[in-house]
Structure 1
Amino acid sequence: FSLLLRLHHFLKTYIFTQFCDRNMPKPNCLMLNVHLVPHTHDDVGWLKTVDQYYYGGRNDIQHAGVQYILDSVVAALQKDPARRFIYVETAFFYRWWKQQNPSTRRVVTQLVEQGRLEFINGGWCMSDEATTHYSAVIDQMTLGLRFLNDTFGECGRPRVAWHIDPFGHAREHASLFAQMGFDGFFFGRLDYQDKARRMKAREMEMVWRASQSLKPPAADLFTGVLPNGYNPPPGFCWDQSCSDAPVQDDPDLDDYNVDMLVATFLNIASAQAQVYKTNHIVMTMGSDFQYENANLWYKNMDKLIRYVNAQQANGSVVNVLYSTPSCYLQELHLANLTWPLKTDDFFPYADDAHDFWTGYFTSRPALKRYERLSNSLLQTCNQLEVLGGAKSRSGPFGEGHSDTMKRAMAVAQHHDAVSGTERQHVAYDYAKRLATGWAHCQVLVRNSLAVLSGSDVPRVFCENLNISVCPLTEGSKKFSMNVYNPLARVVTWSVRLPVNGTSYSVTDSNGKEMDSQVSVCVCYLKVTFDPATGLLSGLTNLETQQSIQLTQNFYWYNASGGDAESRQASGAYIFRPNSSTPISINQNPNISTLQEVRQQFSPWVSQVVRLYNGSRELELEWTVGPVPVADGLGKEVITRLDSNISSAGYFYTDSNGREVMERRKDYRPTWDLKQTEPIAGNYYPINSRAFIKDGRNQMTVVTDRSQGVSSIYNGSLEIMLHRRLLHDDVRGVEEPLSEPGEFADGLVVRGRLLVMLTPPETAADMHRPLAQGMVLQPMLSFQEGALPRNFSGLQAALPPAVHLLTVSQWSNDSVLLRLEHQYESSESKTYSLPVTVNLQKLFSTLEIVGVSEMSLGANQWKEDMKRLQWKPSTGTNTHAARQTAAFHRPYPTPWEITLQPMEIRTFLLRVQRR
C-alpha cells in the first residue's frame, strides 16, 4: 500500500510539476512594492443563511450572492493574465463547482494552475477562534482541504492561513495551522492598544510560537496583521456596494481625478510603509461579499496600477502589482530578516476603550451546547462507520451516512455561527442543519450497532434526556440501554433516566446487578452547605484531606445600553456591564434534599448539586431562564465560585480545548495595558476548563460548552452562563440578542459544571481526561427488552496519555487515523512523557496492511511537508533547523509510532476486515 501511495504521489507530483505554473508577480527590489490582493469575504451565514448568501436571496436584508461573485471573477480573470484573485470559503466554492459545466471547470483549473486564482486558508469556513473546539476545527479544515486537493491537486493546496474577520485569535489555532503545513497566517483584528504599539515599533509582523510543548519550529508560524482589517484603503473601494469615486482618467471630461487619486495612494503607501519592516506592503482590495460585478474592481485597479507606476518616471519609488498573500509572504521570506517573537495569544479583543468583544464567548449558549453535542455524535458516527463497514451505510434501517453531519458541523464552526453572533433566523438554520445531520448519523449508528451486536431490534435515541424525557424508558417495564464510548479508554459515566415506578433493578450485559443509587456525599468529595443561606460553604477532598472554603452564587450584570462615557451597548459581540458589581439573584436560595441537593435561587434560576458514587468531581447542573427583561434591563447571568485559594490575580484557561493559557487580571504580556473596562476587559474564552491555584490547592471547573470566564477577585472564578439583551451593539447584526425560546418569553438553558479540588501537581492527571470525557460523551440508545452485548473496537485501551482523535472512513479500503498526546511537556509527572503505540495492535475488527503519515490537515504526505523558515528575535533560531527534523520518521512509517507531548500524528491506513 505504501509503495502504491508513493507511485501515485510521484505521478501526481510529476504532472503538476509540468503543468502547475505558479508564476509570481515580479516586484522591484529597489522600490516600495505594494501588493494589491483582490479578495472577497463571504460569511458562511451571518445576516442571511448559507443558502440565502449563495443564491442571493433575501437581498432586502443584505445584498449578497456568492454564485455571482465566482461567475464574475472567473470571467474577469480571463481578460488579463496579470490579474489575480484569492478565495477562502470552500463551502461556497464546493457548491459553485458542482454546478459548472466541463468547459468552465477547465478554465478554472487553468487559472488555479497558473496561480491567478489561488485558494487561501481552504477550510470549509473561516472558523471562530474563541468558541471552537480543536477537534471540530481540524475536521472542518480537513473537509475543505480534501475537496481542494481532490479537485486541483497540488496547485489547489493553500499555503497561507487567512483569518481576517474572527474577533480575537487563539494560540492553538496558530499551532494547528503550522502543523497543517501553512507557511504563514494573516488576520485583520487585534486590540486597538496592541495595534498602536505594534505600529509604532514596526512589529505588525512576527513569528508566533504557538506551543510551549512542541519543539520549534513545529508550531512556529509567521503571522502578519493586515493594515486595514480586510478592507481597501480609504477612498479606493470600487465595488457596486461602495461609494468611492472611480478612476476618472479622461482629462476632457468633468471630475478628472487621476492626479488626486495617485497622490492620495502614494501618501497612503508611504504611511503604511513606516509601520512595516520591508519594502513590501500589502493592501486588501475587497470586503464582505464584494466582486459580484468584478469588472468594476478590476477596471479601476488596472488604471490605478498603470497611473501609479507611471510616476516612477518622475522619481516615484512605489511599484504597484496584483498579488496574493502567498506571493507577498514569499517576498518577506526572501528579505531574510529577524522577526519579533510572540508566545501568548490575542484575547481579549477590543476595538476601542469600552468595546470589548467578550460577550460572544457565551452568546447563544444553547446553540453552543448543541454544537458540542453534535461534535460528539459525529465522532461516534465516524467511528461506527469504520467499525460497521459498508453495512453501516446501507443496512436494515435505511441509508445512513456521516457526510451531512460533517458539512453541518463544518458550517457551524464559522465565526458567526457557534460564536452566537448571527441573526436569530440564521441561528435556527444552523440548528436545523445539525438536526438533519443527527438524523442521517442515527441511521448509520443503528445499522452499525445492528452489525456489531447481531440484533436488528429497533433502537431509539432519547435526545431530551436533559429535561428528563424519554418515552421508551418511561413506558417500558423492561428495556435495554446500549452505551457506546467514543474514547479509547475506560470511563465512568453516570446515566440518569426517567422511569415510571421505583422498583427497577439495573443489570449489565452479563446479568450482574449494577449500582443505581445516587447519594449526596459518597467516596471522594464532601460538600457542605450553609444552613442559614442555603449556599455551598465548603469542599473537601477526602483522599488528600484538602479542604477549602467555597461559596457559589448566581448574579447578573446589568447590560449597558450606552451612557455618557460611551454609546457602546452590550450585544451579541460586546460585553459591557454598566457596573463592576454584579447583582445577586438570591442570597438565600430555597433548598430541598432528595438524593441530591436542589437549589431554587429565583423563579428563573435553579441548580441541582450532585455527587455520584465513585466520582472525584462535584456536578453543578444549572438552569437559567427565561431571563426576565420586563424591567427594561438586559442581563448577563454568571455563576461565581468564591474560595480561600490565594490565586493572586492569576487564573488559567484552555485554548480551544488543548494547551493551557496563563491569565492575569488587568494585564497583557505584550504591552502595558490601560484598563478601561474592569469586568469585560478581564474575560477570556474557555472551551473545556479553567482553574485557579495556589501552592496547596487547585480548583478546576470543567464546562460542557464554550463560555466566558474571569477571575475578578482573589480566589474566585466566574463563568457567564446566559445573556439576554435589549440593544444591538452596532457591529452589523442590527438585532438585539434576545432569544425567544419555545414560547417567545425567553430561552431556558440548562448546563453542567464539574468542579474538582486537587493538589496542583496532580491536577492535570484528572482534569484533562475529564474534559475529554465531557467533549466526547458516551452515546446512549435504547431497545425494548433486548439484552445488549459487550463489544470493543480496540484490542486494548490506549495508554492514558493517548487520545484517539480521529477514526474516519477515507475510501472503501482506507481509514484516516489521528492519535494525539493529550498532555503538555511539563504538565504531568506521570503522563508528560513520550508514549509508543503499535498500530497493528490497535483495532479488534480491522487489520492494518498499509500506512502512510500525513500532515495534520491530511492533504499532503508528512515527509513532503516543507514550510518556509523564519528567524525570531529571541528563542530558538527556527531558520537553522529543518522543518521536518523534529518529528521526521523514515518512510514507510513503522508500525510502532511514538508520540511526544502535545503531538498529533495523522495516518492514512489501508485496512482489511478480520
Structure 2
Amino acid sequence: MNFSLKLNLRLLQFNAQDDPSLYGYNLPEKLDLFVEYVTNQSKEFRTHHIMWAMGEDFSYGNANTWFKQIDKLIHYANMDGRVNAFYSTPSMYLDAVHAANATWHLKTDDYFPYSDCPHCFWTGYFTSRPALKGYVRKLSALLQAARQVEFLVGKVSSGPNTDSLEEAVAILQHHDGVSGTERQHVADDYAARLSKGQSESEDVFNKALASLISTKAAESKLLIEKMSSTPGHRVLMNPVNSPDLNLVQCNLLNVSYCPPTEVELKSGRSFVVVAYNPLGWEREDFVRVPVSSSKIEVIDAEENEIPSQLIPITEADRTLRDKYVNLHAGVSAGTAPKYFLVFAAAVPPLGYNSFIVRPSSASGSNIAKLSSYETRRAPLTVHLKSSQLHLTFSKDTGLLTHMSNKKTGVSIPVEQSYCWYNGSSGVTEEDPHMASGAYLFRPNTSECFPLKNFQQIVTVFRGPLVEEVHQQFSPWASQVIRVYKNAEQAEVQFTVGPIPIDDSNGKEIVTKFTTPLRTEKTFYTDSNGRDFLKRVRDFRPDWNLEVKEPVAGNYYPLNLGIYMKDSETDVSVLVDRALGAASTADGQLEIMLHRRLLYDDHRGVGEALNETVCGSNGRCEGLTVLGSLYININPSEEASQWRRIKGQQILMPLQLAFSVLEDGNKEVLHSPKFSAFKSGYELPQNVALITLQELDDRQVLLRLANIFEVDESEQLSKMATVYLPDIFPNLKIKDVVELSLSANQKKSHMKKLTWTVEGNEKVQKNILRGRPLGRDDTSVEIAPMEIRTFLITL
C-alpha cells in the first residue's frame, strides 16, 4: 500500500519517542496507530493510494518540529513495511491514482450545503459581510476595465499601475476573506488594501481614458505602436499627465454624492460623462447622477440630443448621503442636490461614449423631463410599466404582487415580502456551539418574522425613461423598485440597516418572491457564476438526508443568481454581489441580504458578526447595506438568454468618469466616441471578454469564455468563433499561443489524463471543445462553458 503523505499529524498526534533506552519509548504503539488510521481511511478510497493533507487554521507554526516528526514517521513506517509513506504533491498523487486504472463514479453536483453536525450548516457565510462582498465585486470590474484601457494606450514602465489592485483583489479571494469569515480588524485591513489599489487603478483608468479622448489618433483608431527606450512598452498617444481633460470617478454615487455633477451649471459651464464599456458587445445602459439644476439637457459630443429625466432626491437619499460621505470621504456632503439625472448611454464594444450635460433654456426642446410623482396611502393599487414589463403592487400592503412580460406573454402573480430570522444564541447546555455566526446560519426557529410596510405609504415617480416605487418597511429597511424603458427586468434596490439588536436577538434579513409555480421542490443556483446546478429541497443525491434544519439546510451560495421554473415559466433573480439563497417552499425564492449577530459560532472567527460604523462623534451603529437584485419572468429559452447577458452586464457595469468643462468648451473631446474593435465588429452574443491585459515584450493576455451551458439555449448553446484580427484591428498579430486557464504554462505542455467512468465510457469523448490552434490560426472556436486563454504577441 502506497501512502502518499502530507499527513495531518493533529489527527494522529504522532510524537514518537524512538530511543528504547529512554522512559516513554512508544514507537511500536505509534506505528500501530498510524497503520490503523491508514487502514481505516483506505476503505473510503478506490485505489491503494491515499493522500492526507497537512494543514489547519492557526496550526503548524513551528515547521522544524513538524517536519522532524514527519521525517521520523516516514522512516519508521517504511522500515515496518506495512505501508509505504513519502512526501508527495497533488500531481504525483494524481499520476499514481490514474496508473491504478480504476473505474470512477462521475459526480456532477457539488458538496453544498456543508454541515459538521445535524444543526450546524455552514450556510451563513454565503451572505456574511455583504458590503465587503459588494466592494470586491465593484473593484474586480474596475480592475478589468483599467487593464483594458491601459492596453489601449500603452502600458508604461513607471508610475501608477493596476498591480496593487490586482494584489488586493487576489488576497480577498482567501477563503476567510471573500466568504466574510474573517475578524473585523482583518476585514478593515482588506478594505484598506482595496481602497489603496482602487485609488491607483482609478488614476490609470482616468488618465488613459483622457489620453484616448484627447488625441485624434483614437478617432481614426490608429493605435500605432512606438517603442520607447524601455523594451516592450508603448509610448502613450497623449502623455498621461495631459492637462486637456481631467477625469475623475465618483465612488460614492451609491449615496448620491458626485461633486463634478453637482456643480451649478451657469455661465457656459457644463460637465461631461464618459461611459466606458468593458464588454465585447455594444450595450445601452442607463446613467444616473445627482444634479443641482432642473434646466439642463444632455447631448453627445456630436450634438445629438439624448432624452433625459429628472427624479427628485428623497429624504432617505439625503440621510444616507449625509452619514456616509462624512464617514468615507472625511468631508461634509454639503447641500444635497435636488435631482437624479437619468439618461440612456449607448456605448460600443470595448470602447466609450461621451455625454455633455449643459444648461438649457426654459423653452429648449431637449430639456430634461421632470418626473411626476405622488405619495399614496393604502388602499390604492399602483402600477409600473415599461414597453416590455408591467408590475402591479398591492393596494393593501404596497408590495409587489404581479408581473407581466408583454413581449413573451408571461403573466403570473409574484408577491414580494421581507422578513427576518432570529439568530440562535447557541449557548444553552443542550445546544452548545451552534449559534448563528459568521459561518453558521442557525435560526432559533423556522419562522421568518415579517417586515410590514409600517407606514403603508409608497412614493411613485413616473417619466419617459424610468418609473419607480419607493417603499419604507421599517426605520431600518426600505427599497426602490424601478423599471427602465424597454427593460425586461425589474430592478430591486434594497437598503437594510442598521439592523436593530435592542431585543438581544441577532437578525438575518431576507426577501422572498412567492409565485404559484409548481416547482416540485426544485430550483437552480449558479456554480461560481458559470453553470447552474439543480437543487432539490431536503435532498442530497449521494446519501439519504435526515432533515434537522429545514431552512439553513437548504441554503446555497449565489454569485450570479437563482431561478425556479415549471413547464411554462422561469422566474429568475440575479444578484450584484455574493449572497445566500434558498427555496424553502414550492414556487418561492428567498435571498438573504444582510446579517447582524451577537454570538460567535465557534468555527474559528472568535467574535460575533456584528459590523458597526462609528462616526467622528464616537457614536456607533450597525452597518447599512445598499444593493440590487434583478427579477425577470420568461419562458425558459428567453430566460436563459436574459440570465447570461444581463449577468455579464451586472458583473461588468459601465465605468463612469466625469469632468467639469468650465467654459463649456468641448473641443478637448477630440475623440468623443471610440471602440477598440474593428468597425462594426462585436463578439458573438455567447462569448464574454474575461481578460485583456498587456504584459511585457509586446505580449497581451486574452481570455474568452462561452457563457452558455450545453443545451441551455437552443440558439446560443453552440460553438462560437472569434476573429482575433477584429479585436486588434490596427496591430499586427505576430504569434498566438494557447495557455492553461491560469496562464502559467502552454496548453500543449499540459498533462492530459483519460479516466474510465462508470456506466458511460464515452462521456469524455462527447465533450465539445474548440479546435486547437493551428500554426497560423487567428480565429478561435469556443464551445459552451469553455474558457480559452491566449498569449498574443503583437
TM-score using structure 2 length: 0.81
CA deviation map 1:716-739 (0-9, x unaligned): 110000000000000111100000
Instruction: Tell me which residue corresponds to 1:698.
Output: 570
**Structure 2: distance between partners of 1:693 and 1:436:** 44
**Structure 1: distance between partners of 2:59 and 2:785:** 40
Amino acid at match of 2:6: V
Closer/same/farther in 2, CA of residues 365 and 285 from structure 1, 3 Å limit: closer
Instruction: Tell me which residue corresponds to 2:690.
Output: 805
Instruction: Tell me which residue corresponds to 2:649.
Output: 773
Amino acid at match of 1:310: M
- TM-superposed CA distance for 1:570, in Å, is 0.4
* Contact 2:397–2:452 (Cα < 8 Å) also in 1: no
* Contact 1:728–1:737 (Cα < 8 Å) also in 2: yes
Amino acid at match of 1:604: W
Secondary structure of the corresponding residue to residue 493 of structure 1:
strand
CA deviation map 1:309-353 (0-9, x unaligned): 3334xxxx3333333333332221221111222111111111110
Match status 1:764 vs 2:649: no
Alignment map for 1:532-571 (pairs within 5 Å): 532-562=396-426, 563=428, 566-567=431-432, 568-571=434-437
**Structure 1: distance between partners of 2:791 and 2:645:** 26
Alignment map for 1:728-739 (pairs within 5 Å): 728-739=600-611
Alignment map for 1:835-846 (pairs within 5 Å): 835-846=720-731
**Structure 2: distance between partners of 1:570 and 1:642:** 26
- 1:674 alignment partner, one of 546, 550, 559: 546
- 1:468 alignment partner, one of 256, 259, 266: 256
Amino acid at match of 2:696: S
Alignment map for 1:228-243 (pairs within 5 Å): 231-232=8-9, 234-236=11-13
- TM-superposed CA distance for 1:875, in Å, is 2.2
Alignment map for 1:723-762 (pairs within 5 Å): 723-743=595-615, 744-762=620-638
Amino acid at match of 1:325: P
- 2:119 alignment partner, one of 347, 354, 364: 354
CA deviation map 1:513-537 (0-9, x unaligned): 2121377422111111111111111
Alignment map for 1:875-890 (pairs within 5 Å): 875-877=760-762, 886-889=769-772
Instruction: Tell me which residue corresponds to 1:390.
Output: 155
- TM-superposed CA distance for 1:742, in Å, is 4.1
Could you say which structure has the higher strand fraction? 2
CA deviation map 1:784-805 (0-9, x unaligned): 1254500111112212111111
- 1:572 alignment partner, one of 432, 438, 444: 438
Identity of aligned pairs, percent?
Answer: 43
Amino acid at match of 1:576: R
* Contact 1:869–1:878 (Cα < 8 Å) also in 2: no
Instruction: Tell me which residue corresponds to 1:591.
Output: 458
**Structure 2: distance between partners of 1:714 and 1:587:** 25
- TM-superposed CA distance for 1:856, in Å, is 1.5
Alignment map for 1:783-822 (pairs within 5 Å): 783-785=659-661, 787=666, 788=669, 789-795=672-678, 796-822=681-707
- TM-superposed CA distance for 1:277, in Å, is 2.5
Match status 1:494 vs 2:379: no
- 1:634 alignment partner, one of 495, 499, 506: 506
**Structure 2: distance between partners of 1:642 and 1:810:** 49
Amino acid at match of 2:495: T
Instruction: Tell me which residue corresponds to 1:213.
Output: none
Instruction: Tell me which residue corresponds to 1:514.
Output: 306
- 1:483 alignment partner, one of 272, 275, 281: 275
**Structure 1: distance between partners of 2:713 and 2:31:** 60
**Structure 1: distance between partners of 2:87 and 2:785:** 40
- TM-superposed CA distance for 1:298, in Å, is 2.9
- TM-superposed CA distance for 1:577, in Å, is 0.6
**Structure 1: distance between partners of 2:780 and 2:21:** 74
Question: Runs of 5+ in structure 2 lacking a partner?
Answer: 216-243, 310-341, 343-370, 372-383, 463-467
CA deviation map 1:344-395 (0-9, x unaligned): 111111111011000000000000000000110011011011101136x76x
CA deviation map 1:181-233 (0-9, x unaligned): xxxxxxxxxxxxxxxxxxxxxxxxxxxxxxxxxxxxxxxxxxxxxxxxxx335
* Contact 2:771–2:781 (Cα < 8 Å) also in 1: no
CA deviation map 1:659-702 (0-9, x unaligned): 11111111112222112110000000110111111122211111
Instruction: Tell me which residue corresponds to 2:64.
Output: 295
Amino acid at match of 1:739: E
**Structure 1: distance between partners of 2:769 and 2:478:** 51
Instruction: Tell me which residue corresponds to 1:135.
Output: none
Match status 1:281 vs 2:50: yes
Closer/same/farther in 2, CA of residues 413 and 841 from structure 1, 3 Å limit: same
Amino acid at match of 2:282: V
Instruction: Tell me which residue corresponds to 1:338.
Output: 103
**Structure 1: distance between partners of 2:697 and 2:411:** 55
**Structure 1: distance between partners of 2:29 and 2:4:** 21
* Contact 2:769–2:782 (Cα < 8 Å) also in 1: no
* Contact 1:421–1:572 (Cα < 8 Å) also in 2: yes
Amino acid at match of 2:391: V
CA deviation map 1:410-434 (0-9, x unaligned): 1111101111000001001111111
- TM-superposed CA distance for 1:887, in Å, is 4.2
Secondary structure of the corresponding residue to residue 234 of structure 1:
helix
* Contact 2:98–2:755 (Cα < 8 Å) also in 1: yes
- 1:414 alignment partner, one of 168, 174, 179: 174
Instruction: Tell me which residue corresponds to 2:747.
Output: 862
- TM-superposed CA distance for 1:496, in Å, is 1.2
Closer/same/farther in 2, CA of residues 320 and 633 from structure 1, 3 Å limit: same
- 1:505 alignment partner, one of 287, 290, 297: 297
- 1:665 alignment partner, one of 512, 537, 559: 537
**Structure 2: distance between partners of 1:433 and 1:334:** 45
- 2:162 alignment partner, one of 388, 402, 405: 402
**Structure 1: distance between partners of 2:74 and 2:155:** 57
Amino acid at match of 2:13: F
- 2:6 alignment partner, one of 32, 37, 55: 37
* Contact 1:232–1:283 (Cα < 8 Å) also in 2: no
Secondary structure of the corresponding residue to residue 3 of structure 2:
strand
CA deviation map 1:263-287 (0-9, x unaligned): 2222222222222222222333454
Closer/same/farther in 2, CA of residues 295 and 537 from structure 1, 3 Å limit: closer
- 2:192 alignment partner, one of 432, 435, 439: 432
**Structure 2: distance between partners of 1:711 and 1:526:** 25
Instruction: Tell me which residue corresponds to 2:756.
Output: 871
* Contact 2:453–2:474 (Cα < 8 Å) also in 1: no
**Structure 2: distance between partners of 1:629 and 1:344:** 38
- 2:245 alignment partner, one of 442, 453, 457: 457
CA deviation map 1:636-658 (0-9, x unaligned): 00001111222221111111111
Closer/same/farther in 2, CA of residues 559 and 253 from structure 1, 3 Å limit: same
* Contact 1:852–1:892 (Cα < 8 Å) also in 2: no
Closer/same/farther in 2, CA of residues 847 and 310 from structure 1, 3 Å limit: closer
675-684 vs 443-452, greater mean Cα deviation:
443-452
> Aligned Cα RMSD in Å?
2.0
- TM-superposed CA distance for 1:609, in Å, is 1.1
Secondary structure of the corresponding residue to residue 300 of structure 1:
helix
CA deviation map 1:855-898 (0-9, x unaligned): 2121222222222322122323478x699x95452532511222
Secondary structure of the corresponding residue to residue 434 of structure 1:
helix
CA deviation map 1:469-506 (0-9, x unaligned): 11111124121100000011112211111111211211
- TM-superposed CA distance for 1:752, in Å, is 0.6
564-573 vs 732-741, greater mean Cα deviation:
564-573
**Structure 2: distance between partners of 1:390 and 1:263:** 61
Instruction: Tell me which residue corresponds to 1:155.
Output: none
- TM-superposed CA distance for 1:824, in Å, is 1.3
